[in-house]
Amino acid sequence: MKKFKLDATGLACPIPVVKTKKLLEEYETVETTVDNFIATQNLDKLAKQLSYNIAVTEVGSNYEVVISKNDLAKDNVIDTLNDKCVIPVTQAKRVLEKESKVEILVKDESNVDKLEEFAKKNNYNFEKLQKEDHYSVSIEKLNNELEQEKPVQKFDESYIVVINKKIMGHGSEELGKRLIKAYLYALTEQEELPKKIIFYNDGGELVDRNRSHVLDELRELENNGVEIVCCGACIDYHNIDLAVGNPTNMYFIVEDMRKANRIIRP
């Protein structure tokens, strides 16, 4: 197995991502060392985009990120205990697209709650077992009849939603806040969901833990597999405390817009 070790400490994003992506064209495994957590999240995004395995380990003040061309889950078990970047619901959904059962190991009870909500919404069987320092969660598909009773939501890979304001439209801010909430609620009810929602500029406040009034709608979308990302520079500028989604950078925003057949800006 061809492996390469990349020292990306001191490099600003998106350079670690760009260098890692190029190396993965030649090597089966790339171990990238970075010195900030945002870089690990961007590398996680790269791994998910390529459907590669990723593991993140803290080493002193740095992080070692190993990306390899293996399956994300081993024997239908997703271990998130030592990997801060894995989104348990998203990974569970990916396994259940091919398998009937998945086991997820998680540390935080908040992730257990999200997995339970995901299972209930899809009429899946849910079981949790509390261990010494973590939880083991099992999610299993029920019979086909129960699945057929639930309206099927599909993903339209051809379009993404871009939100660059905390309100919808121009004019009354109060009305604009109502409209953006109504829009996101309506989006949760669509038969075809977008692949991704990108937030930037003061639109990033909609994913903030304390300032957003649309977190319920965004969590619903995220629990159904819609990827939610927010510009990292905007997170820093507006002091955003992310409640949903993950940071991204301009490299990925440009790439997502370039590849999308349709971009919707409410």
Which uninterrupted H or E stretch holds 203? none
Predicted confidence at residue 54, as pLDDT, reads: 86
| Confidence band for 20, pLDDT divided at 50, 70 and 90 | very high
Q: Based on the number of CB atoms within 10 Å of its own CB, is 171 exposed (0-12), middle (13-18) or buried (19 or more)?
A: exposed
Dig out the tokens for 80 from the structure: 């998130």
The pLDDT of 242-251, averaged and rounded, is 92
Dig out the tokens for 235 from the structure: 């997170």
pLDDT in tens, 56-100: 888 899 999 999 875 545 556 777 776 555 578 877 877 787 788
| 76-81, Cβ contacts within 8 angstroms, sequence gap of 24 or more | 76/101, 76/102, 76/103, 77/102, 77/103, 77/104, 77/105, 78/102, 78/103, 78/104, 78/105, 79/105, 80/104, 80/105, 80/106, 80/107, 80/111, 81/105, 81/106, 81/107, 81/134
| Confidence band for 217, pLDDT divided at 50, 70 and 90 | very high
Please tell me the pTM assigned to this model: 0.55
- Bigger pLDDT: 204 vs 111: 204
Predicted confidence at residue 162, as pLDDT, reads: 97
200 touches 234 (CB < 8 A): yes
Rounded CA-CA distance 18/98 in Å is: 30
